[in-house]
Amino acid sequence: MTQKFYEMTPAQRRESLIHQGVDAHTLTAMAEPESPSLPTLDVMSENVVGAWQAPLGILTRCLVNRRVHRVAMSTEEPSVVAAANRAARLFDDAGGVVVRIDEPVTCAQIMVAVHPDAVGEFLHQIETRRDQWIALANACDPALVRAGGGAFDFDVTTRTEEHDETLVVARLFVHTKDAMGANAVNTMAEKILHTWTERCALSIDGFDPGMAILTNDGAGRLVTAEIVLPPGTLRQFVAVEPDVFVRKMARASRFAECDPQRAVTHNKGIMNGIIAAAIPLGQDTRAIEAAAYHYACRDGHHAPLAVWAKDPSSGGLRGRLCMPLCVGFIGAFRASRAVEAAFRFDGIDDYPTLCALLAATGLAQNFGALWALVTSGIQEGHMKLHRRKCGEADPLN
């Protein structure tokens, strides 16, 4: 029997692609065949044929909750790392960022369909056994429960009726401790769905199991990062007078607050920093982005995740970032040597520090972008960097 592509080693897959007509040079240029991390990468994903390189730059000093960190950042945009460093120096002078985090909670949704006439009976059966579902969920993950986490709450709502059926949606809330928790929570939710299917398929009219999956809304994972930049700090670092700078930054913030088209870009700048820092740490960056943009739209329009205003007591600038961070300190991704090394390099030794560092990087990134935008403009720095990197002639001369 011929071997399936996914069953092959990376080297065999490359051979197979070359047999299929893929040019060997293209393959080598696209994916390195000899990376020492290849065995790990092969376990981390599917149909792996090599390693893909991305630049890793460094935010050299980031003061958060009174601890100094370095932050490894993977991004193809050089001005992101440059702006983060520039902003972090100023933050450092002001005493650093202070970050608070929520106890991390992940919520799973269990959706089933029942005949509209049977909704009352089904809800009765589900709601009166609430503790049973929580216990069933916790039996799926004794280690999480031993660590002080686990499922702790459960509720049910009904959704629209269509085609003679009503959607019933139950939510299971789980303290996931140090994990992002997607696997743990999905296992629990599927267990509950299967149990309902066994019990209700015959007794509830029109019962049809729908699906069980976590929500990526990140509502239970809010992180708040704050900084006050006193006039003395601003005077040292910024070319314009502190009160002028404060007014310009507050205005830039208000622009994002009142204009969703601007807010999208403002938040993209925040995510430039957070995602660049999250990649080397092996995080699910799609989950981080999904929750962030969902939260940004919580009032029905895109709003900024970080805002800046005059600090009434010092007359300086106060910045505040509040957003969900769907990240994990433990999980299968830690099997990668490179990820493990990035955690060590960044000095991240627990879940709160992981959240704090990502949030602080996001706030610094936002400040760095706005600083450039309201003073010299973004292109000057961009082009300067480009010329330094690529040695091209100055397009303005």
Count of positions on this chain that bind ligand MEV (CB under 6 A):
10
Q: Which residues are registered as beta bridge partners of 113?
A: 167, 208
* Listed residue (254, 246, 247, 244) closest to 229, CA to CA: 246
Give SS3 for 208: strand
Query: Which ranges of the chain does DSSP label H, i.e. alpha helix?
Result: 10-19, 24-30, 38-44, 78-93, 119-127, 130-139, 142-146, 182-200, 231-237, 242-258, 260-278, 285-296, 337-346, 351-374, 378-390
283 lines the binding site for ligand MEV (CB under 6 A): no
Q: How far is the CB of 369 from ligand MEV (least distance, A)?
A: 4
DSSP 162: E
Catalytic one among 92, 121, 226, 284?
284
Q: How far apart are CA 154 and CA 170, in angstroms?
A: 7
Binds ligand MEV (CB under 6 A): choice among 177, 248, 266, 318 = 266
Catalytic one among 190, 205, 268, 340?
268
Q: How far is the CB of 329 from ligand MEV (least distance, A)?
A: 28
Could you confirm whether 284 is annotated as catalytic? yes
Catalytic one among 115, 294, 310, 382?
382
Contacts to ligand MEV from residues 63-82, by CB under 6 A: 77
327 lines the binding site for ligand MEV (CB under 6 A): no
Could you confirm whether 77 is annotated as catalytic? yes
272 lines the binding site for ligand MEV (CB under 6 A): yes
Q: How far apart are CA 229 and CA 206, in angstroms?
A: 61
Q: How far is the CB of 303 from ligand MEV (least distance, A)?
A: 14
364 lines the binding site for ligand MEV (CB under 6 A): no
User: Do the beta carbons of residue 148 and residue 157 sit within 8 Å?
Assistant: no
Binds ligand MEV (CB under 6 A): choice among 86, 115, 129, 268 = 268
Binds ligand MEV (CB under 6 A): choice among 181, 269, 316, 328 = 269
386 lines the binding site for ligand MEV (CB under 6 A): no
378 lines the binding site for ligand MEV (CB under 6 A): yes
Could you confirm whether 175 is annotated as catalytic? no
Q: How far is the CB of 257 from ligand MEV (least distance, A)?
A: 13
Report how far apart, in Å, the C-alpha atoms of 181 and of each of 104, 153, 176 are.
Answer: 9, 16, 5
Binds ligand MEV (CB under 6 A): choice among 40, 187, 215, 265 = 265
Binds ligand MEV (CB under 6 A): choice among 369, 371, 374, 381 = 369
61 lines the binding site for ligand MEV (CB under 6 A): no
Q: How far apart are CA 257 and CA 254, in angstroms?
A: 5
Contacts to ligand MEV from residues 171-230, by CB under 6 A: none
- In order, the DSSP letters of 126-157 are HHTTHHHHHHHHHHT-HHHHHTT-EEEEEEEE
Q: Which residues are registered as beta bridge partners of 330?
A: 179
Q: How far apart are CA 115 and CA 122, in angstroms?
A: 10
240 lines the binding site for ligand MEV (CB under 6 A): no
Q: Are strands 222-229 and 317-324 parallel, antiparallel or unpaired?
A: antiparallel
Residues annotated as catalytic are: 77, 268, 284, 382
Binding site for ligand MEV (CB under 6 A): 77, 265-266, 268-269, 272, 369-370, 373, 378
